[in-house]
Amino acid sequence: MRSKRSLEGLIKQIEISENNLFLFVEGKEIDPRFYDKVFDHLLFGLGVKYEIILPSKYVDGYGGKDGLLKFHDELKYSGRLQYEFKKIKKSIIFILDKDVDDIINIKRCEPNIIYTRHYCAENYLILHNDIKTCIMNSCQIPKSEIGRLKDNIIEEIRRGLKPWVVYCLAGKMKKMHACPGYGHQPPIGFELSEKCIESTAIKCGMPESDVKLAFKVAGEIVDLNYSAGTPDVVIKGKWYFSMMETIVKEHYDGYNIFNFNKSIQSAMLASLQINDEWAIHFKIDIMPSVNFLLEV
């Protein structure tokens, strides 16, 4: 596809393309490669030709989740989410990070919108990889040295992140915009102390009692997901990489750990094994569009 800096230009590119299924994603780095790998496996042999598209690359003003939803609505109201062009059926699907949209009740229920089951695409890389092997390969650490890292490094990171997850979720639920949230990296050793509650109340212009209640409610939701074995519903996947980098640098001070985030993500994408057990929900969600394309 050549770059077209207008909505109509992108639509024209879709219409002349030999592909018939177009998967629009929001992330620039991980999402295109992750979803290409997922749907290459899930759609194999079904007779559908798909293409991964990052709309912001082609159309100004359509980046991120808000841009994708705007694009979705414009296509929906013009009847171009699923349609026929010169006797060739076309279907456009929008794949979005769930974030905590379900918890704060802003998740859209639309047939052409697919959400991740976890917070974002990066969580799948964490959940379905051998983390120590990926660290070893990306940082060129000898196999004989990798034992310095604990086997439960991810559990350790989750425990450390928990207070920050509660803080960020409370901010989202209560719309405490003056406070750092999911868009910020977690501070090392963050604690939900009385001082934190007091400063948050002052920053947000809220009574301390309201802030305490917000943290209590958010804490119960986080506890529920941690206890149920689904902490990645509320943990932002990108946070793992920054926390992992800190731990790796502590254990391997003598090694040149350069551009850790990019190298570990590439290693995880390369080693990720797609299987129907964990990826099946993507297939279930996309099959109505596939069936539309295959109908005679």
For the chain, which residues make up each domain, given as ranges? 7-121+276-291, 129-271
Q: What pLDDT score was predicted for residue 257?
A: 72
What do you get for the CA distance between the two ends of the chain, in Å? 28
Determine the Cα–Cα distance for residues 165 and 168; give it in Å rounded to an integer.
5
Model pLDDT for residues 261-284, shown as the tens digit of each residue: 889 999 999 999 998 899 999 999
Determine the Cα–Cα distance for residues 243 and 221; give it in Å rounded to an integer.
23
> 247, 157 in Cβ contact below 8 A?
yes
Measured over the CA atoms of residue 133, residue 136, residue 138 and residue 142, the dihedral's sign is: negative
Please enumerate, as own/partner, the contacts of 273-276 that have beta carbons within 8 Å and a separation of 24 or more. 273/128, 274/37, 274/38, 274/40, 274/41, 274/42, 275/41, 276/42
* Residue 28 DSSP label: S
Among residues 173, 181, 175, 180, the alpha carbon closest in space to that of 236 is found at 181
Locate all alpha helices (DSSP H) within 128-259, ordered by sequence: 131-139, 153-174, 194-204, 208-227, 237-251
Q: What pLDDT score was predicted for residue 2?
A: 45
Between the alpha carbon of residue 242 and those of residues 135, 176, 260, the distances in Å are 13, 24, 8
Phi, psi of 151 (to 5 degrees): -65, -30
Helix or strand run (H / E) with residue 37: helix 30-42
Q: What pLDDT score was predicted for residue 258?
A: 75
Q: What pLDDT score was predicted for residue 1?
A: 43
Helix or strand run (H / E) with residue 36: helix 30-42
Q: What pLDDT score was predicted for residue 4?
A: 45
Among residues 167, 223, 166, the alpha carbon closest in space to that of 200 is found at 167
Half-sphere exposure of 108 (CA within 13 A, CB side): 17
Q: Which tokens go with 119?
A: 């917070």
Among residues 243, 240, 222, 242, the alpha carbon closest in space to that of 231 is found at 222
pLDDT tens-digit profile, the chain (296 residues): 444 457 788 888 899 999 999 999 998 889 999 999 999 999 999 999 999 999 888 777 777 899 999 999 999 999 999 999 988 999 999 999 999 999 999 999 999 999 999 999 999 999 999 999 999 888 888 888 888 888 889 999 999 999 999 999 999 999 887 777 898 999 988 999 999 999 999 999 999 999 999 999 999 999 999 999 999 999 999 999 999 998 888 888 766 677 888 899 999 999 999 988 999 999 999 999 999 999 86
What count of residues does the chain have? 296
7-121+276-291 to CATH, choices 1.10.1060, 1.10.3470, 3.40.50, 1.10.30 = 3.40.50
